[in-house]
Each structure stands twice: as C-alpha cells, then as structure tokens.
Amino acid sequence: MFIISCNSDPHRVDVSEIQVDAKIQRFEHDLFKSFKSGTKDEYINLKNEYNEFFDVFVHQILTIPQGPDSIVKSQLEMFVHDAEVNDIYRLTDSAYQDINDLESGMESFLKHLHYYFPAKPVPQVLTYISAFNYAVITTDSTIGIGLDMFLGQNTVYYPRLGIPRYMFNRFQRDYIIPSAIKAWFQSEYDVSLVKNEFMSQMIYQGKLLHFSKAMGPAMNDTLLTGYTASQLDWCKKNEAEIWSFFIENKLLFNTDPSLYAKFINEGPSTSGFPQEAPGKLGAWIGWQIVEAYMTKNSDVTLPQLMMENDAQKILEVSGYKPQK
C-alpha cells in the first residue's frame, strides 16, 4: 500500500459545526425610514435598537456633538435630507439591494473568528453610509460597513474627493470582507502600542496579513494585500532583493518613522524600488517572516502569535532568509 501525503493548508480548518449569526442589519435603511415618518417615536426606536452603534454613528462618524435628543435629531435630519447624501444613498441602495454574498462571506469570517477566539463575543454586522467618512468601524459588539466606500472604482465621488486612484481602485464589493477582517484585528491589536521600530512595525503588518488569511483561507491573496496579481508575482520573484535592501540600508532597527514609514504605509509603489513594485513592501516581507515563524512553530496558536510582541524573537526563530 502506498500512502501519498501532501502538505495541507494550515489555514484550512473545519468550521462546519460552528453556528454564528451573520445576518446583516441595514442601519442606513432604518435611518432614512425613520426620518421619512418624521415622528419622535421612530427616532427613539432607532436609537434604542442600535444603541451603542447609534452613538458611534452620530457622535464619532458624523461628529454631531452630544446634546438633547431634539438637537441631535435635528442634525441627523439635516444629514438625511441633504441632496448629496440622498444621491449617495440612492447609489448605495442600487448597488447593494442583494447582500447574500456579503452575509455568506461574513459568516465564514465569523466562524473562523469563533474557532480561533472562542472566548470573544461574535460581533453583529451592520451597514451604513457616512458620506465617505469611514469604510469600516468597530465597537465592542459590532462591525459596521460603510457601503458608500465600496461603490466601485468608477464612482464619480472618489476622484472629486481627491482620493488617489490606487486607493479607490480597491473601493469595490470584493474588498468588503477583507476590510472587515482587518478592522477587527486593528481594533483588538492597536498599532499605536507597537514599538516604534521598523522591524516591530513590519511584523505587526505581517501578523495582520497572517490573521486575515486565517479568517479568510479561501480568499485570494490579491484581496488580502490589495496587490494586483502581477504585483504579487513581482514580490515573490524579488523577495530576496527586497530583504537585502532592508538589510543593506540598516532599516530593521531604525526608529525614525519618516525613514521607514514609506515601506509600511499605503502608496502606489515603494520608494527605492522599480515602478512595478507595489506599496507596503515592508508589510509583505513581514507577512513572509510571520508565515515562516508559524511554519517552524506549528504548536503556536493564532492567539499566541498575536500576543508575542518580541519582533526580533519572531525573526530569529523563523529562520527567515529568502534565497536569490
């Protein structure tokens, strides 16, 4: 008898028995409906139903000051009746009449989230529009998706707002689930608490991508990274050269954000590399280091990885050394 074994994807775990509520609430529908009736009861009902998220939407997203219900209601009414906001609502409602695919994608994400973090509450998912203020926002119990930030690259508002094309090329439906995954990660693991050092920042970004892959194992890497297929291919072919560049320029332990941020931050490309190189090369290398670390340490769980803050230890234990 010959037994043929193959390396299974460690991110592919069985979540078939996990039950989660992935029904998406349409806050924007309820908001506009409540102000069509014009009654105080509808406003109070909306406030009570959405509770914590209502306060976040009103005071953080729309930046309406705290105050009596009558004043907050009046400010919300101005938002709902604004001509441009109504046009955004019309576009969003047309593009997202059917959200079955989003609920399916969120269900997979939430099942994987519960698989790896069973003690954490499974968040409720809802949608909203904010006139392009926030793409995704999280609270202790909610993931909110700003659908007006995912209307497609041909939406006229994005260039009018001065958003660079390389960014709004990703303002599409397919990027909603990976954006929600990253938003949850960033709310749990605040980048502002990460050591001010290129290596630590790079590993943080690597953890983010590793986590994203664990939450969406079937998702294409282009959606997780925001790279095109050709940009991903370029990274793979030039991985050793990218790493050598970081080493030769003594960047790993650099603590000057003005120097290393260009290798971490969003951009159409990465300074110091050919034009075909995508932005955030430091994040991509950080991902390769984290993947190497987890491959060598199969007993390390995802939560344990998240809590390991010693970036140098992760690098050393990973044995990362790409070959030319």
Q: Are residues 199 and 268 located together in one domain of the fold?
A: yes
Q: What is the mean pLDDT of the chain?
A: 93
Domain count, the chain: 2
Q: Is residue 196 part of a domain?
A: yes
Q: What are phi and psi of 26, to 5 degrees?
A: -100, 85
The residue-averaged pLDDT of 263-273 equals: 91
Q: Are residues 130 and 157 located together in one domain of the fold?
A: yes
What pLDDT band is residue 213 in, cutting at 50, 70 and 90?
very high
Q: Which pLDDT score, from 0 to 100, does residue 191 have?
A: 92
| 119: Cβ contacts below 8 Å, ≥ 6 apart | none
Write the secondary structure of 197-238 as one string of H (helix), E (strand) and C (coil): CHHHHHHHHHHHHHHHHHHCCCCCHHHHHCCCHHHHHHHHHC
Domain that holds residue 59: 24-188
- Token look-up 């370029």 returns 234
Q: Are residues 28 and 173 located together in one domain of the fold?
A: yes
Residue that is last in its domain, among 170, 188, 206: 188
8 A C-beta contact, residue 211 and residue 181: yes
Confidence check: pLDDT of 292 > 60: yes
Q: Are residues 123 and 95 located together in one domain of the fold?
A: yes
Q: Is residue 113 part of a domain?
A: yes
Q: Is residue 149 part of a domain?
A: yes
Q: Is residue 89 part of a domain?
A: yes
Q: Which residue has the higher pLDDT, 322 or 41?
A: 322
Q: Give the Cα separation of 260 and 262 in Å (integer).
A: 5
Q: Is residue 52 part of a domain?
A: yes
Q: What six digits make up the tokens of 96?
A: 């997202």
**For the segment 128-144, what is each residue's pLDDT rounded down to a tens digit?**
999 999 999 999 899 99
Q: Give the Cα separation of 228 and 119 in Å (integer).
A: 36
Single pTM value for the model: 0.93
Percentage of the chain surpassing pLDDT 90? 86
72: helix, strand or coil: helix
Task: Report the phi/psi class of residue 210: left, alpha or beta, with left for phi > 0 and alpha for psi in -120 to 50.
Answer: alpha
Q: Which pLDDT score, from 0 to 100, does residue 39 have?
A: 63
**For the segment 96-118, what is each residue's pLDDT rounded down to a tens digit?**
999 999 999 999 999 999 999 99
8 A C-beta contact, residue 315 and residue 289: yes
Q: Are residues 82 and 231 located together in one domain of the fold?
A: no
Distance of CA 28 to the CA centre of its chain: 21
Q: Give the Cα separation of 261 and 285 in Å (integer).
A: 14
In degrees, rounded to 5, the angle at the alpha carbon of residue 301 between the alpha carbons of residues 299 and 307 is 125
Q: Is residue 12 part of a domain?
A: no
**For the segment 155-186, what is each residue's pLDDT rounded down to a tens digit?**
999 999 999 999 999 999 999 999 999 999 99
Confidence check: pLDDT of 2 > 70: no
Q: Which pLDDT score, from 0 to 100, does residue 20 have?
A: 96
Q: Are residues 135 and 165 located together in one domain of the fold?
A: yes
Confidence check: pLDDT of 17 > 90: yes
Q: Are residues 168 and 224 located together in one domain of the fold?
A: no
Q: Are residues 184 and 238 located together in one domain of the fold?
A: no
Q: DSSP label at 319? A: T
Residue that is last in its domain, among 150, 167, 188: 188
Which amino acid is it at 291? E
Residue that is last in its domain, among 156, 188, 220: 188
Q: Give the Cα separation of 17 and 15 in Å (integer).
A: 6
Q: Which pLDDT score, from 0 to 100, does residue 37 have?
A: 63
Q: Which pLDDT score, from 0 to 100, does residue 3 have?
A: 36
Confidence check: pLDDT of 208 > 80: yes
8 A C-beta contact, residue 281 and residue 235: yes
Confidence check: pLDDT of 40 > 70: no
What pLDDT band is residue 239 in, cutting at 50, 70 and 90?
very high
Q: Is residue 18 part of a domain?
A: no
State the distance between the two ends of the chain, measured CA to CA, in whole angstroms. 39
